Amino acid sequence: MGRRAIVTGGTRGIGAAISVALKEAGHSVAANYAGNDEAAKAFEAETGIKAVKWDVGDYDACVAGVAAAEKALGGPVEILVNNAGITRDGMFHKMSKQSWDDVIRVDLTSLFNMTRPVIDGMREAGWGRVVNISSINGQKGQMGQVNYSAAKAGVIGFTKALAQETARKGVTVNCVAPGYIDTDMVSAVPQNVLDSIIAGIPVGRLGKAEEIGRAVAYLCGDDAGFITGAVLAANGGQYMSG
Ligand code: NDP
């Protein structure tokens, strides 16, 4: 059954693949983005999925953005994928307050900003899917990413707590924790660092955005109704948590 979906950061990288996988699963999708109009236009032209711009770190912008997306989609949002994220890497002893605040705002506070405006509608409908994109580095911690690891670990806590609150209402809340995926975010990593990362991935390669997209689409479907509060690791075996 086709549902109405919003994917944050849905025009590039993993988010774009999630938007496309949801469309292929028969859903109507609005893809949010922050400011890269050129990428958003190209994505719209290529996929036919509507791109909508607002900052997920800004609560009022999210309320307005959700309302605009719901108008375009023709009704309340039934699927929300909180995918937008940024990195501001650096060793903690050199980390600025700004780098900390930026990452917590976009990678963690955005989950409140985006989920709060849609949760009442999902509860009232008795059906909903929220999928949050965490990271392997939120599970295991990563040197040089104290801000990012803290935010992505927070995403897991958010997922587990909200899943308990909404389970009886037919609303599942899950998390996908990707390992290293071949996107712009990972291209920013120096090649020698990337080579050593790949050497530590049992599958022997980076992940593909499409592999994450299809995993998310599965969690958003009716078949996944008994899965909630889960953290799905998609990392090529790089980190196996209990
Ligand atoms: P990209 O940098 O390729 O794309 C990020 C997307 O998020 C873009 O669409 C961007 O919009 C959007 N975005 C960034 N900031 C905001 C904001 N304030 N408001 C709205 N949209 C915003 O990232 P990836 O595809 O690599 O990563 C996607 C998610 O997956 C992130 O949460 C990331 O932390 C997580 N992840 C990624 C991994 C990887 O290996 N790539 C590994 C593990 C987790 P715009 O185009 O306008 O800039």
Nearest-CA residue for atom 41 of ligand 1: 181
Nearest-CA residue for atom 22 of ligand 1: 34
Q: What is the pLDDT of residue 74?
A: 96
Alpha helix segments (H runs only) across 25-145: 37-47, 59-73, 97-104, 110-125, 136-140
Q: What is the pLDDT of residues 59-93, one digit of tens each?
A: 999 999 999 999 999 999 999 999 999 999 999 99
Beta-bridge partners for 171: 128
Which atom of ligand 1 is least distant from the CA of 56?
19
CA distances from residue 128 to 49, 75, 131, 212 in whole angstroms, order as listed: 21, 13, 10, 20
Q: 86, 111, 203, 205: which to mutate for ligand 1, most atoms within 8 A of CB? A: 86
More confident residue, 96 or 186: 96
Contact (Cβ atoms closer than 8 angstroms) between residue 79 and residue 132: no
Sign of CA dihedral 105, 111, 112, 116: positive
Q: What is the pLDDT of residue 188?
A: 83
Q: What is the DSSP string of 50-77?
A: EEEE--TT-HHHHHHHHHHHHHHHTS--
Q: What is the C-alpha end-to-end distance of the chain, expressed in Å? A: 34
Q: What is the pLDDT of residue 185?
A: 79
Contact (Cβ atoms closer than 8 angstroms) between residue 198 and residue 204: yes
pTM of this prediction? 0.98
Q: What is the pLDDT of residues 134-169, one digit of tens each?
A: 999 999 999 999 999 999 999 999 999 999 999 999
Residue 148 annotated as catalytic: yes
Which atom of ligand 1 is least distant from the CA of 206?
40
Q: Considering 148, 180, 218, 239, which one is annotated as catalytic?
A: 148
Contact (Cβ atoms closer than 8 angstroms) between residue 31 and residue 49: yes
What is the rounded distance in angstroms from the CA atom of residue 152 to the CA atom of residue 149? Answer: 5
Nearest-CA residue for atom 28 of ligand 1: 14
Q: What is the pLDDT of residues 203-236, one digit of tens each?
A: 999 999 999 999 999 999 999 999 999 999 999 9
Report the SS3 class of residue 138.
helix
Phi-psi region of 48 (alpha: psi -120 to 50; beta: other; left: phi over 0): left
Contact (Cβ atoms closer than 8 angstroms) between residue 3 and residue 70: no
Q: In the β-sheet with 4-7, what is the strand arrangement from edge to edge? A: 50-53, 28-33, 4-7, 79-82, 128-133, 171-178, 231-234
Question: In terms of Cα–Cα distance, which of 72, 76, 74 is closest to 44?
Answer: 72
Q: Is 212 in the pocket of ligand 1 (CB under 6 A)?
A: no
- Exposed, middle or buried, 221 (CB in 10 Å: 0-12/13-18/19+)? middle
Q: Is 8 in the pocket of ligand 1 (CB under 6 A)?
A: yes
Q: What is the pLDDT of residue 184?
A: 84
The CA 83 to ligand 1 mean position distance, Å, reads 6
Kindly tell me the number of DSSP H helices and DSSP E strands found in the chain.
10, 7
pLDDT at 242 over 80: no
Q: What is the CATH number of domain 4-181+209-233?
A: 3.40.50.720
Which atom of ligand 1 is least distant from the CA of 181?
40
Q: Is 184 in the pocket of ligand 1 (CB under 6 A)?
A: yes
Q: What is the pLDDT of residue 1?
A: 80
Q: Is 84 in the pocket of ligand 1 (CB under 6 A)?
A: yes
pLDDT at 124 over 80: yes
Q: Is 174 in the pocket of ligand 1 (CB under 6 A)?
A: no
